[in-house]
Amino acid sequence: MTYFDAASSAPPHPLAREAFLAAWEEGWADPSRLHREGRRARLLLDTARESAAEQVGCRPDELSFTTSGTRALHTGIAGSLTARRRAGRHLLVSAVEHSAVLHAAGAHRDEGGAVTEVSPDRAGRVDAGEWAAALRPDTALAVLQSANHEVGTEQPVEEVAEGCAAAGVPLLVDAAQSLPWGRVPGSWSLLAASAHKWGGPGGVGLLAVRKGVRFAPPEPADEREWGRSPGYPSLPAVVAAAVALRAVRAEAVAEGERLRALVDRVRERVAREVPDTTVVGHPALRLPHIVTFSCLYVDGEALLHALDRAGFSVSSGSSCTSSTLTPSHVLRAMGVLSEGNVRLSLPRGTTEAEVERFLDVLPGAVAGVRDQLTAPAVSATASAGAGEGGAGEEAAGADVAGDGSASGGHAAPVQPRRRGAGAGALGERTVNALGLRCPIPVIELAKMMPRVPVGSVVRVLADDTAARLDIPAWCEMRGQEYLGEVPLPAEDGAGAVYRVRRSV
């Protein structure tokens, strides 16, 4: 197997394993005790803290070790909001933050606080000016990632930090993805990170709180870690995390240049060799090891299984690969295609041969999944003449009923048209995709479009949440006019009617 999912968890660094075992032998005692074993453990803990603080760019006494990156984020957010309660209860975040941040924001909202989410552009990057405009007199805290974990886009942290400082608002930076590649620039106030993102062990997070930043530990007082993280962390894991961070940073420039060249190759060849595929994320302002793309008419889970059988471990933000069956909140906020989504995040040491083998396998894997779904052929989808159905449409056996509804021949049954949902306006055709999961609603829309005249409207009835994102994205890719959506009548249940006018 070739592992291409370092953004989820990087493979353990060899030096981290050695450091862990050594610290296990020497640092098992309570580092608060004055006896010899305790002093030895304390020396290991202090050395690890100094090393990690140097890589972060803060003082050792500003850095605390937590039990995870999520714990660091939750503690940092809760501690800042509690300490600045008199300033206000407004929390400012971006819409593409890690789910840990959005969950903390949701809890704050449930407790009566106010939350504003700043939306990014289609590349996943927020605008520093819009961020500054979203700051309010009652803003207690702002949270912004340094780089996105799904698409790799880097955020304008330095400019945002300047705006926050001018407004007197502390900025917490989630540096989990970027810290292995370098320090976070700017006058940030708090910073959180996670060791397993750079080859350290799981169960170790970093929380930095600058001197002068108001912070009230959200949990009962504890004399360890300056009260910011209760209990002693695992000393062997902390030592291993600090050693791994120093090791990856020592080679970050050279390894970053090498991996960026490989990612550039993937971006170029995927766009060129895999039809109906969109590479997402910023083309230049991005981390060197992450590339993400979405494939039209592809079930994300099926594609991941196909790639896994071919020997590649990758991840996805497609709704069909998640337990909630909702598309990635990052892709949704960006407004880009979510179906058939694949993220490659190359670990240190990835070879040219491994990337080439992936690029050789990918087109066939995508084509195989599309064949299973009887997706439209490229020629049929792009056809400009009404009635020019291609091989994909014929294979699916789409049927146009006399009342203008359509259904496709898939394994998942098409529900009967619900009362009040199928009767369209004169000249409109209806695609009934109720009960069908991504990417079937878009596939059925694509099959219908060549069968109606230019200027006609197709209505898609769908209750899969990904349709809200993927149908507009399909229209943009295909040059068709998206007319918007309206909810289904209450008696027809959940879902919406999406209207598309054929333009070409």
**Distance separating alpha carbons of residues 162 and 160, to the nearest angstrom:** 5
CA distances from 52 to 85, 153, 208 (A): 31, 25, 10
- Whether residue 294 contacts residue 340, with contact meaning beta carbons closer than 8 Å, is answered with yes
Measure Cα distances from 62 to 165, 179, 212, 225, 410 in Å: 19, 17, 10, 10, 58
Structure tokens at 80: 């800042």
Closest by CA position to 366, among listed 414, 415, 303: 303
Dihedral-angle region of residue 186 (phi above 0 means left; psi in -120 to 50 means alpha; beta otherwise): left
In this structure, how many other beta carbons lie within 10 angstroms of the beta carbon of residue 431? Answer: 30
Distances (CA, A) of 371 to 363, 364, 475: 12, 10, 22
CA distance 223 to 475: 58
Closest CA to 90 of 108, 75, 71: 108
Residue in 58, 164, 295, 320 annotated catalytic? 320
- How is residue 234 written in tokens? 């695992």
Q: How far apart are CA 290 and CA 6, in angstroms?
A: 9
Helices (H), 11-127: 14-26, 36-56, 69-83, 99-110
Backbone angles phi, psi at 381, to 5 degrees: -65, -40
Active site residue 164: no
CB 237 within 8 A of CB 20: yes
Q: How many angstroms separate the CA atoms of 222 and 234, rounded?
A: 16
Measure Cα distances from 87 to 160, 285, 439 in Å: 20, 34, 47
In the chain, % helix, strand, coil (3-state, to 5) comes to 40, 20, 40
Known catalytic residues?
A: 320
